[in-house]
Amino acid sequence: MTIIPAIDVINGKCVRLTKGDYAQQKVYNDNPVEVAKQFEAAGIERLHIVDLDGAKAGTIININVLEAIANATSLKIDFGGGVKTITDVSNIFNAGASMVTIGSLAVKHPELLEEWLMEFSPEHFFIGADVLDEKIKISGWLEDSGINIFSFIGRMIALGATNIFCTDISKDGVLQGPSIELYKKIMQEHPEIRLTASGGVSNMDDVEELKAIGCDGVIIGKAIYEGNISLQQLKAHIIS
């Protein structure tokens, strides 16, 4: 299972929100490049960067952070937040990302996503399903789409997208454990996807449990920044 640390960016700084609430943000480092280098030194190969300013504004804002990290490390980076056009997608790849993260747009404009998948190929896209009570939330988690998580994933599979990560917003940033039962249901319903868990991971036991149920990857944020999971523990897990 792939360990994917998250760097969420507001005003160029590494932050974390609680349950997606922009009013509940905590700055962990003014220099995301420094954080990314620490992850790489621990043996991490993947990185999940979210432009929270971009997600809220509906336009990419912190692409310079992506470029700086890509230039300073060899991490395989996925980047998203405010992606709206094929030019945005090209700019993200040109800035050094290996994958583009798509969330709200996949819900609102699946026809656009289909064009991009055909242009750049599906393996270069990481589709985010952000859920509350099994319903998809969009626009930086501020808007309820009314769409069920299972039907949404079905639509993505029909388009050829199988790299899916699912965040249970009720679990995000509260360090109370991931939505194991939700992920089990998703994988039972759609066994063909590569599912990455996101939200709620509080310790390495959570990571092992997600691995045991068959998750392809796990995105970890606050548990690392609060010291619940050390870089040494991540390194040991990767080596094992």
Task: Note the pLDDT of residue 3.
Answer: 96
CA pair distance 120, 116, nearest whole angstrom: 6
Q: What is d(CA 179, CA 167) in angstroms, rounded to the nearest whole number? A: 9
Residue 174 has pLDDT above 80, yes or no: no
Would residue 8 show up in a list of annotated catalytic residues for this protein?
Answer: yes
Of 8, 53, 168, 172, catalytic = 8
Number of separate domains in the chain: 1
Q: 152: domain CATH number?
A: 3.20.20.70
The reply to whether 130 belongs to the active site is: yes
User: Residue 21: its pLDDT value, please?
Assistant: 80
Other C-beta atoms lying within 10 Å of the C-beta of residue 33: 17
- Which is catalytic among the residues 88, 130, 168, 206? 130
pLDDT tens digits, one per residue of 66-109? 999 999 999 999 999 999 999 999 999 999 999 999 988 999 99
How far is the C-alpha of 117 from the C-alpha of 38, rounded, in Å? 32
Looking at residue 140, what is its pLDDT?
A: 63
Cα R_g (the chain), whole angstroms: 16
User: Nearest 10 degrees: CA dihedral of 77, 210, 149, 156?
Assistant: 50
Query: What's the domain range around 91?
Result: 2-239
